[in-house]
């Protein structure tokens, strides 16, 4: 399956039927920019769009993916190979996304010590480990624990509808904990009457602006992301789409990472039971998103 070949085939069929890119886009339910991207070979249509796109162009899904007209005999002989090529393409795109996100996280953690006085060695080691993992994924090699995790997911399939409900439940639980006044932790120093230096530990809501003034803006970012992700997950319960699933995944990863950063950067004093619960809920929500997207 070649995106360039499929794109040229879409362009030829569209012109044969006298359709503009906007008219074809309206018939399928996308934007004309998406049609232009397909025809330039910059991507392939979503799986849910293949059937209406083929109907609008007067062809079959098999011919659309093959990028050329097929006879009845060829259509039957090549249907399996076209399907396998489509699955390989989808897998490669998923791997590229995982490589990009892992590499970005690694670079972020490697650069973060330049702007903070936290645990620099831990951050650098974690960043280097993530970059090494990105290299392994880019070369198509899966570490043993990733392969075992993937097999476990395949063996214990969860209904997509159940996974979508669990996604909303976990995001709602995380947001509920973030709204309580015991999630974000701040540590203040003071001087006693005898001249000794002491410290006091106070907790705040994730939506409090006070920690932001002291450089700990991660709780607020986590809270904003969680609220947006909960809204998206509720929308997905009513109308499921691949784009919504991708947004939930791309937003869930930084939300879970941001919830972990205060104790990692500023020390164990910034650890709290509510914060651990928020991280656990966000991680479970992310796992449910992955299961629903599969």
| Residue range of the domain that includes 64 | 3-69
- Whether residues 35 and 163 fall in one domain: no
The torsion angles phi and psi of 196, rounded to 5 degrees, stand at -75, 155
pLDDT of residue 71: 66
- Whether residues 128 and 39 fall in one domain: no
With beta carbons less than 8 A apart as the criterion, state whether 50 and 30 touch: no
- Whether residues 137 and 188 fall in one domain: no
> Within a domain: residue 248?
yes
Give me the residues paired with residue 201 across strands: 187
- Whether residues 100 and 224 fall in one domain: no
Number of domains in the chain: 3
How does DSSP assign 26-46, residue by residue?
A: HHHTS-HHHHHHHHTTS----
Q: Which residue, of 132, 153, 174, is where some domain finishes?
A: 153
Q: How many helices (H) and strands (E) does the chain have?
A: 13, 2
With beta carbons less than 8 A apart as the criterion, state whether 288 and 167 touch: yes
pLDDT of residue 155: 44
Q: How far apart are CA 202 and CA 93, in angstroms?
A: 45
Helix (H, G, I), strand (E, B) or coil at 18: coil
- Whether residues 127 and 191 fall in one domain: no
Q: Which residue, of 115, 131, 153, is where some domain finishes?
A: 153
Phi/psi region, residue 67 (left: phi>0; alpha: psi -120 to 50; beta: rest), is left
Q: Which residue, of 153, 178, 201, is where some domain finishes?
A: 153
- Whether residues 169 and 252 fall in one domain: yes
Look up the pTM and report it: 0.51
pLDDT along the chain (294 residues), means of 10: 81 90 87 87 77 84 76 57 57 64 72 58 70 70 50 49 85 90 80 75 86 83 92 84 84 90 79 84 89 76
- Using the structure block, give the residue that is written with the tokens 């997905």: 236
> Within a domain: residue 213?
yes
CATH code at position 18: 1.10.260.40
> Within a domain: residue 81?
no
């Amino acid at each position: 399956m070649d995106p360039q070949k499929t794109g040229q085939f879409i362009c030829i069929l569209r012109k044969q039927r006298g359709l503009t890119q906007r008219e074809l886009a309206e018939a399928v339910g996308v934007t004309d920019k998406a049609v232009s991207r397909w025809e330039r070979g910059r991507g392939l249509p979503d799986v849910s769009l293949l059937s209406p796109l083929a109907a609008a162009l007067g062809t079959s899904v098999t011919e659309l993916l093959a990028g050329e007209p097929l006879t009845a005999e060829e259509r039957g002989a090549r249907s399996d190979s076209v399907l396998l090529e489509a699955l390989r393409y989808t897998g490669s795109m998923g791997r590229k996304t995982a490589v990009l996100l892992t590499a970005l996280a690694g670079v972020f953690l490697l650069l973060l010590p330049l702007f903070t006085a936290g645990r620099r060695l831990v951050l650098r080691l974690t960043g280097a480990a993530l970059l090494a993992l990105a290299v392994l994924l880019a070369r198509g090699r899966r570490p043993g624990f990733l392969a075992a995790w993937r097999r476990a997911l395949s063996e214990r399939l969860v209904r997509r509808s159940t996974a979508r409900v669990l996604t909303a439940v976990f995001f709602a639980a995380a947001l509920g904990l973030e709204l309580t006044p015991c999630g974000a932790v701040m540590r203040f120093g003071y001087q006693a009457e005898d001249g000794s230096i002491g410290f006091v530990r106070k907790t705040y809501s994730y939506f409090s602006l006070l920690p932001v003034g002291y450089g700990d803006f991660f709780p607020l970012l986590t809270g904003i992301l969680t609220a947006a992700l909960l809204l998206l997950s509720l929308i997905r319960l009513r109308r499921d789409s691949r784009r919504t699933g991708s947004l939930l995944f791309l937003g869930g990863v930084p939300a879970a990472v941001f919830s972990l950063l205060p104790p990692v950067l500023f020390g164990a004093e910034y650890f709290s039971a509510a914060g651990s619960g928020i991280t656990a809920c966000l991680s479970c929500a992310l796992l449910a998103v992955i299961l629903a997207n599969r």
